[in-house]
Amino acid sequence: MSIDRVVAKMRGGSRLSADEALELYRGAPTSLLGRLADGIRARKHPSHVVTYIIDRNVNYTNICVAKCNFCAFYRPVGSSEGYVLGFDELFRKIDETIAVGGVQLLLQGGHNPDLPLTWYEDLFRAIKSRYPMFKLHALSPPEVIHLSRLSQLPVNAVIARLIDAGLDSIPGGGAEILVDRVRKLLHCYGKASADEWLDVMRLAHRAGLRTTATMMYGTVETDEERIEHLLRLRALQDETGGFTAFIAWSYQPAHTELAGAEATGIDYLRTLAIARIVLDNFDNLQASWVTQGGKVGQLSLAYGANDMGSVMIEENVVRAAGASYCMDEAEIVRNIEDAGFVAKRRNMHYEVLGDPIFREREVPRMLELATARADGDTPVPDELMNYPARSRAGKQLRVISH
């Protein structure tokens, strides 16, 4: 099969098979991949608008029993560097987010055996009663599965309880590569197999939630497995239509057990472009400036992305693995406009909320991303004592703190 035939098929409006997508991914010049992806982006978003969201990426705990070997963020149960954020700390983070025009928290964390489902429910209810309009984009599929196992409730019951407590949408984290051979090598099969990850999203979509989908590439997977990942997402999107967006990011190897090398910017742009081509039923693709930096993030807008993702405010996971790019709203808008697009703020549903907030009112500049913990924060918040611990270390901590 020649590249020309695949391109002709694509231009005729036909969907690509796995073999055709692979042929294109492996063989097409980067400039051609970019042109094809950009054509799709322009057809889906003819208004020349590139969106972004102001939200805050908060990790409520770094204690995790999953121990994925590509993760530099987690700490094992009992570690002196382990933390759980207190409700008050989270309220403070929300206040700071609202001050710069933010509309939601992206709330994810480790699989902490000492945080029962009721802790999440109480937290969500507390947030919603203080900030009724503020959105909770929270708990990736493996976290939902962790809660299902911990509470011994089926996944759909956990989702229903979380929605009842205030969950608005689910982020697509923890997908890595949706192929079990890869997941076993990355020690993340136990937290969620490919089918289990997809099942959580299926159930969430059926329950009326919108979610995103992600891919973390550049570890041990083959090109075929990257394409398989995209095809599995495309199939579920055909079935439910519940994904709002796709985000690809490259593995960050520093301080991880797996180690290895980081994928190049060209690999990122090629992967983004093939995703735009294969995921014909996804409306939105985000640029991953947090792993690629502002310049490649800006270039992404010529390789299929129509969204600059999140202003973010805070980031802990990618930073733990060595990357620490920061862009506040003004910087993101500058990158969008310098690339020739019109910048608009959006919500998680990709509804436009307005022009850049810093042009409407004065907001503080944010030249560094915040971290989860501030000096003086206690690693054991008071309300944690109200919830039973499962781990021995967690039980001891509660006894000592009393």
Choice between 140 and 237, CB closer to ligand SF4: 140
Choice between 142 and 297, CB closer to ligand SF4: 142
Q: Which residues in the 367-396 window bind ligand SF4 by CB under 6 A?
A: none
Shortest spacing between CB 239 and ligand SF4, in angstroms: 26
Stretch that binds ligand SF4, among 67-75, 234-242, 337-345, 348-356 (CB under 6 A): 67-75
Shortest spacing between CB 191 and ligand SF4, in angstroms: 5
Choice between 64 and 247, CB closer to ligand SF4: 64
What span, in angstroms and rounded, lies between the C-alpha atoms of 372 and 18? 41
Residue in 66, 126, 153, 339 binding ligand SF4, rule: CB under 6 A: 66
Residue in 7, 28, 40, 71 binding ligand SF4, rule: CB under 6 A: 71
Shortest spacing between CB 66 and ligand SF4, in angstroms: 4
Measured at the CA of 241, the angle between CA 307 and CA 155, to 5 degrees, comes to: 105
161 lies in the site for ligand SF4, by CB under 6 A: no
243 lies in the site for ligand SF4, by CB under 6 A: no
The contacts found for 195-198 with CB under 8 angstroms, 24 or more apart, are: 196/141, 196/145, 197/141, 197/142, 198/232, 198/236
Shortest spacing between CB 241 and ligand SF4, in angstroms: 27
Shortest spacing between CB 143 and ligand SF4, in angstroms: 8
In 3D space, the residue among 109, 80, 114, 67 whose CA is nearest the CA of residue 314 turns out to be 109
Choice between 34 and 173, CB closer to ligand SF4: 173
249 lies in the site for ligand SF4, by CB under 6 A: no
137 lies in the site for ligand SF4, by CB under 6 A: no
Residue in 110, 166, 172, 294 binding ligand SF4, rule: CB under 6 A: 110
64 lies in the site for ligand SF4, by CB under 6 A: yes
63 lies in the site for ligand SF4, by CB under 6 A: no
191 lies in the site for ligand SF4, by CB under 6 A: yes
100 lies in the site for ligand SF4, by CB under 6 A: no
Residue in 33, 50, 53, 68 binding ligand SF4, rule: CB under 6 A: 68
142 lies in the site for ligand SF4, by CB under 6 A: yes
Residue in 111, 183, 205, 319 binding ligand SF4, rule: CB under 6 A: 111
217 lies in the site for ligand SF4, by CB under 6 A: no
Choice between 111 and 232, CB closer to ligand SF4: 111
List residues near ligand SF4 by CB under 6 A.
Answer: 64, 66-68, 71, 73-74, 110-111, 142, 188, 191
